Amino acid sequence: MKVLISDKLEKQAVDILQAEGLQVDINTELTPEQLKEKIKGYDALIVRSKTKATKEIIDASDNLKVIGRAGVGVDNIDIPAATAKGIVVMNAPSGNTISAAEHAFALMMSLSRNIPYANSLLKNKKWEKKLLGVELNGKTIGVIGLGRVGSHMAKMAKGIGMKVIGYDPLITEDKASSVGVALVSLDEIFKTADFISLHVPRTPETKNLIGEDALNKMKKNVRIINCARGGVVDEDALYKALKEGKIAGAALDVFAQEPLLDSPLLELDNVIVTPHLGASTQEAQIKVAVDIANSIALALKEGKFNNALNLSQIKR
């Protein structure tokens, strides 16, 4: 059986697949048109986030049984199109949890002490002692989305003496309190938090969750961190709120359109940006590659599906 890897993936994944007797082809530079042709004959496709597994590509496949995503977000895979063709979509949801939470935490710390801005000033020979930060200890953080990443972020924030409140309609009070979070309403977070960290998937409900209305309810000193998904924060509304001094700062790892190279947000000194680096650690990249390779091997060889996202909807 044949597996096509169309995005850069750690070598450990290839070793696992080959040890299971699977033929592995790696081709990370295919255009969508080329992938449409290339996909024919393959049993499995493994992607990260660069490959867009569109309906066109999925429909062009003739033997595909499974698509594996080395990571969490599957917004680059047309799941309904895969489901319609009986193709199972699986992700590797936990391998990059720690890295994503640590990146969000690093962004929060950088934001609170103006570190990227101070660094760029000094490298441009400006000794700016007047930059004034804020302490995190004793401050309130609102964590929106208390799944894997949000819960870890909450635990870390608690560990440095922050008061942690959270909003997640799908988790219980018990689960929240086990990670030190008091569940509150979204409005309560908007009105009281000094830091707001987003950890939700991008869905119709979370699109522009942080928009003009939400921003208008927030405290003037609030700082927002988005290391989850672009589009959850309305970037135009965020820019306006920052420009008008309605909020104090924002740190963004993810954007509505990626790569983001041209945005007024990039001109603001109180905005920190990173190019979707949340999962970019040596450890996370190995973990997601190993996890998805094991899942693909199990699916192809034994018909068992780990972390399948559409299995129940596939008519068999």
**Residues near ligand NAD, by CB under 6 A:** 72-73, 93, 96-97, 100, 144-150, 167-171, 199-201, 203, 205-206, 227-229, 253-254, 276, 278-279
Task: Work out how close the CB of 103 gets to ligand NAD at its nearest, in angstroms, rounded to a whole number.
Answer: 6
When the beta carbons of 74 and 218 are compared against ligand MLT, the nearer one is 74
- Contact (CB, 8 A) for 138 and 163: yes
- By the rule CB under 6 A, 96 interacts with ligand MLT: yes
293 binds, among ligand MLT, ligand NAD, none (CB under 5 to 8 A by kind): none
Q: Is 49 in the site for ligand MLT (CB under 6 A)?
A: yes
Say whether 276 is catalytic: yes
Which of 24, 21, 22, 74 is closest to 52 using CA atoms?
74
CB contact at 8 A, 108 and 156: no
From 48, 69, 103, 276, the catalytic residue: 276
Nearer to ligand NAD, 43 or 253 (CB): 253
We find the least distance from the C-beta atom of residue 140 to ligand MLT, in angstroms, to be 27
Sole binder of ligand MLT in the list 68, 71, 145, 230 (CB under 6 A): 71
Catalytic annotation, pick one of 223, 229, 244, 302: 229
Note if 20 is an active site residue: no
Is 258 an active-site residue? Answer: yes
One of 37, 128, 173, 258 is an active-site residue; which one?
258
Q: For ligand MLT, which stretch binds (CB under 6 A), given 53-61, 68-76, 122-130, 234-242? A: 68-76
* Chain positions contacting ligand MLT, by CB under 6 A: 48-49, 71-73, 96, 278-279
The catalytic residues are 229, 258, 276
